[in-house]
Amino acid sequence: PPPGWVSIGRVGPTESLSLTFALRQQNLQQLQKLVQDVSDPGSPRYGKYLSLEDVAALVRPSTLTLSTVQKWLLAAGVQDCQTVITEDFLTCQMTVQQAEQLLPGAEFHRYVGRLGGGRVVRSPRPYSLPGALAAHVDFVGGLHRFPRASSLQQRPGPKLDLEESLSLHMGVTPAVIRERYNLTAQDVGSGSPNNSQACAQFLEQYFHDADLEEFMKLFGKSFPHKNSVSRVVGQQGHGRAGLEASLDVQYLMSAGANISTWVYSSPGDSGAGCFSGPKGHLFRPSFPASSPYVTTVGGTSFRNPFMVTEEIVDYISGGGFSNIFPRPQYQDEAVSHFLGSSTHLPPSSYYNASGRAYPDVAALSDGYWVVSNHVPIPWVSGTSASTPVFGGLLSLVNEQRLLNGRPPLGFLNPRLYSMQGRGLFDVTQGCHEACLDEEVQGQGFCSKPGWDPVTGWGTPNYPALLKALLDP
Ligand SMILES: *[C@@H]1O[C@H](CO)[C@@H](O)[C@H](O)[C@H]1NC(C)=O
Ligand SMILES: *[C@@H]1O[C@H](CO)[C@@H](O)[C@H](O)[C@H]1NC(C)=O
Ligand SMILES: *[C@@H]1O[C@H](CO)[C@@H](O)[C@H](O)[C@H]1NC(C)=O
Ligand SMILES: *[C@@H]1O[C@H](CO)[C@@H](O)[C@H](O)[C@H]1NC(C)=O
């Protein structure tokens, strides 16, 4: 198990368990081409999105696949399954005994997160499937991958030099974000019926309505906003509020201010973490940040933590290269240029230069104020703070696009890379902290002019970003 998770023993054979079977989809090459076309401003299909039903018609597993998997599950007595519209993911409830019979090798243990990360049931051993299913099942979910522990931390506040000028702020608040990224009080949602934004909370880490209200009372005076989320999908529990869930909702709703916001809640995401293996040190890329279909946001801090200044790399910013996904074509030029022109790269055995490189953009990740369990908490830091801020700004861009009769942005990366940094403040100073050993001397990748795997293309300058993304 990853650091922070401890086994408290095997789970009893009659206890119930939920596993997800990923069934082999069809027409993936066609789907890939469609994704490329609807995301490419140069294509006549740009913004002409498929409905979920159209996607289902394209990728739905074959009837042979559906019936083979169903027969196999029924033979083991597994009947309580739920599917999705695309029918490619089947989630089934079963006993531990049934699961261990279906998947020879698997052995289910209960793990607890040491840092209040909840409880999960996982198998420390590999599992197998009958050969007859090889052509029909891609993988089974719920055995190996552990949920990401929150990367947020409260750092000690920097020392304040009282001799400095009076134009100081005491940490990052919505007003500071809006000032830095050039948002005026008019840059808010105007009520477009088809615009909405969403974030997700995991591991019994909930946000509280009362915290959001308190946060907006304290920090929302200078811009129109909503005081509550429009809809919670899934279960919103009654436990203590989680810091990460609180931050996501509070900053999504103050960057993407006055836009209808949904929260997806699921009672059960880190940069190029360091991984010490038998072959020495390697950067361990993270999922979903390393997916080529996700816009990944790196972290920055102010050069002077008490002033709205230019941004530099926050040393905790994640970034690197995927070992799974090859480099997508949209970033080919940017990544080749970075690798070809950098003078201080980490040793090449530490990363896979052929993989998808990330992040794509960045935003502040240091020194946030968050209200959690009725208490305003200062100096909260972590790259997970950057994401809701960048996401909220894209919701504001979508609002303007919808008002102008344009489709929403959809998958941003092909367009983002073709803009070559237009609409963004380039971050050019600082390195992220990586595997600490003599060889790399505590340094991971470093930012430089243009794209880099620390801050991507940079942080948003809203009016310029809007201009670059409004048409077509
Ligand atoms: C945005 O902010 C930057 C830095 O604070 C400033 O130089 C610039 O003039 C502002 N406005 C626009 C439209 O870029
Ligand atoms: C905020 O959104 C509401 C609709 O949800 C809309 O009626 C109102 O005009 C918006 N406020 C501003 C300042 O645009
Ligand atoms: C909202 O979306 C629906 C479905 O695509 C469309 O029929 C409707 O015209 C849209 N409304 C506005 C105001 O754009
Ligand atoms: C490097 O990345 C590629 C995908 O781009 C992958 O196929 C390959 O297995 C990776 N190599 C290692 C050593 O992980």
CA of residue 324 to ligand 4 center, whole Å = 6
As a whole number of angstroms, the distance between CA 335 and CA 338 comes to: 5
Out of 175-189, 225-239, 265-279, 452-466, which region has the weakest mean confidence (pLDDT)?
265-279
In the predicted model, is pLDDT for residue 32 greater than 50? yes
Does residue 263 surpass a pLDDT of 70?
yes
Query: How confident is the prediction for the chain on average, in pLDDT?
Result: 89
CA-to-CA distance for 369 and 380, rounded, in angstroms?
A: 6
Pick the more confident residue, 385 or 269.
385
Q: Give the model confidence (pLDDT) of 203-247 as tens digits.
A: 667 899 999 999 999 999 999 999 999 999 887 777 788 888 899
The answer to whether the beta carbons of residues 177 and 456 sit under 8 Å apart is no
Q: Which of 95-99, 153-157, 266-270, 344-348 has the lowest mean pLDDT?
A: 266-270
Q: Are 200 and 233 in contact (CB under 8 A)?
A: no
pLDDT, tens digit, 9 for 90 and up, residues 418-470: 999 999 999 999 988 765 455 555 568 999 999 999 999 999 999 999 999 99
- DSSP H helices, 145-281, are 174-180, 209-219, 243-255
Mean pLDDT in residue range 294-307: 93
| Sequence ranges of the domains in the chain | 5-25+60-141, 168-471
- pLDDT (average), residues 93-110: 96
The ligand placed nearest to the CA atom of residue 194 is 3
Residue indicated by tokens 């998997």: 69
Q: The tokens of 336 are what?
A: 């080749």
Which residue lies with its CA nearest to atom 9 of ligand 2? 190
pLDDT at residue 114, as a whole number: 73
The catalytic site residues sit at: 244, 248, 384
User: Averaged over 310-328, what is the pLDDT?
Assistant: 90
Structure tokens at 102: 């279906």
The finding on whether 340 has its CB within 6 A of some atom of ligand 3 is no
| DSSP alpha helix (H) spans, 275-379 | 332-341
Q: What angle (nearest 5°) sits at the alpha carbon of residue 429, between those of residues 426 and 430? A: 130
Which of the residue ranges 7-16, 166-175, 207-216 would you say has the lowest mean pLDDT?
Answer: 166-175
CA dist., res. 37 & res. 43, Å (int)? 6
CA of 192 to the centre of ligand 2 (A): 9
284, 321, 322, 323, best to mutate for ligand 4 pocket (most atoms within 8 Å of CB): 323
Tell me which residue of 182, 163, 438, 408 sits closest to 306, measured CA to CA: 163
Stronger pLDDT, 344 or 338, i.e. the higher one: 338
Query: Residue 442's pLDDT is what?
Result: 59
Homologous superfamily (CATH) of 168-471 is Peptidase S8/S53 domain (3.40.50.200)
Quote the CA–CA distance of 78 and 72 in Å, as a whole number: 9
